[in-house]
Amino acid sequence: MTSVYVLNGPNLNLLGTRRPEVYGNTTLADVEDLCRQEAGNLGLELEFLQSNHEGQLIDWVHEAGARVATGECLGAVFNPGAYTHTSIALHDAIEGAALPVVEVHISNVHAREEFRHRSYVSPVARGVVVGFGVYGYVLALQGLHHALTVS
Ligand code: CA2
């Protein structure tokens, strides 16, 4: 069965515990359940991962890219958290691994502080979903599946 990665960056393990006015009450475990259900609907196996460490995220991008190259994996839905706005290394990893990525953000980053308006990931992403809360992960999975399986 083809797999899909859902990668989550720093502090997303805190979802549902603080800042509900920005990120809602849903926990990351709830997001995983949501993604597992949608991946099942799409006939995909899910790898759901979270790390607070940039290097770990880069390693997973490389791993997913290698699996895309062998046809085992479709691509990744990626919420890089605050690394979105800082990480040239993640930009280079996605590009270097030729990993199809749909970037997702729970909040509408464009309606927030100016430092959140810049994304180093968007230029190497297949698509971007922002501002739909955790339902954005479902939309991103659907978008990735549609972009890569429907001609
Ligand atoms: O809106 C998003 O999904 C973000 O990627 C979330 C990041 C933020 O840095 C990005 O600008 C937008 C933050 C991750 C979650 O941080 C939390 C902090 C405290 C409590 C709960 C979550």
Beta 45-50 vs 101-105: how paired, if at all?
A: unpaired
Residue 87's identity, in one-letter code, is S
Tell me the domains of the chain and their CATH numbers. Answer: 3-149 (3.40.50.9100)
| Residue spans of the chain under pLDDT 50 | none
Catalytic site includes residue 145: no
Query: What confidence score (pLDDT) does residue 151 get?
Result: 59
* CB of 137 closer than 6 angstroms to any ligand 1 atom: no
DSSP state for residue 141 in the 8-state scheme: H
Asked if 56 contacts 41 with a C-beta cutoff of 8 angstroms, the reply is no
Query: What confidence score (pLDDT) does residue 69 get?
Result: 97
Q: Which two tokens stand for residue 23?
A: 């990120």
Element (H, E) at 77: strand 73-79
Query: What confidence score (pLDDT) does residue 19 get?
Result: 84
Which among 30, 77, 84 is the best mutation to test ligand 1's pocket, defined by most ligand atoms within 8 Å of the CB? 84
**CA 135 centroid distance within chain:** 12
Contacts of 85 (CB under 8 A, 6+ apart): 115, 116, 118, 119, 120
